Amino acid sequence: MGLGAPPLTETMTAVALVLASASASRARLLTSAGIAFRQLSSDVAEDALAASLIGEPPATIALALARAKCEAVADTLAPGPDSLAPGAAESAEPPVLVLGCDSILEFDGRAWGKPGSPEAATERWRRQRGGLGTLLTGHWLLDTATHRATGRTVGTEVTFVDATDQEIADYVATGEPLWVAGAFTLEGRAGPLIAGIHGDPSNVIGLSLPALRTMLQDLGHELRDVATHAAAGDSTP
């Protein structure tokens, strides 16, 4: 199970959601929204896949990576041959939906993923400070029972402050920007360096909650099908 995964809820939901990502930020988003899920990371070679898509629009790249992650995890959940044997008992488990996500920053017409090194992160920030970019998150949701799937890419505009060289150096030294799309986190240490956003804030963190709602409906489900439920008598809002 990936980082940040909460324990499974005791209440069985109508649909079992699997997050095909090791992202702690995405896990926190789902948990805060009251959505029950399991978290499994994929073994997709993201850099190699992204390299094969060079020249494609950033939104296309984000969606392709999200789909690859989703399908890789879904393959690990595929039922074995014994479950298809004549006379096999039907499973009482709920339907399983797998959600894959991938985020990319589009800036000056280019797609920026994870910088991976202090040097790359510093260069990114020197380019994007004082500028406007679009954080794109691709989402792919697959129903493992019916093999129906739906996907969408959501964009949120991000305006960066005109950070000084020292502010950039201090931020890069934390290590935070090295392994996140666009070299920043809205909810982390980069918060003071973000002047504003226009659009869905959850999308910037890595998973658009409104988009998830819509995709569930695309596959014939509702948000309440994956929601945790408060204990009886709990009136906490």
Catalytic residues, by residue number, are 102
How far out from the chain centre does Cα 89 lie? 35
Q: Is 77 helix (H, G, I), strand (E, B) or coil?
A: coil
Q: Which amino acid is at 109?
A: G
Cα separation values, 2 from 41, 49, 73, 176, 197, Å: 6, 21, 12, 18, 29
Helix and strand totals (H; E) in the chain: 7, 7
3-state secondary structure 155-195: EEEEEECCCCHHHHHHHHHCCHHHHCHHHCCCCCCCHHHEE
Give the span between the Cα atoms of 109 and 75, in whole angstroms.
Answer: 34
Cα separation values, 204 from 80, 185, 219, Å: 37, 8, 24
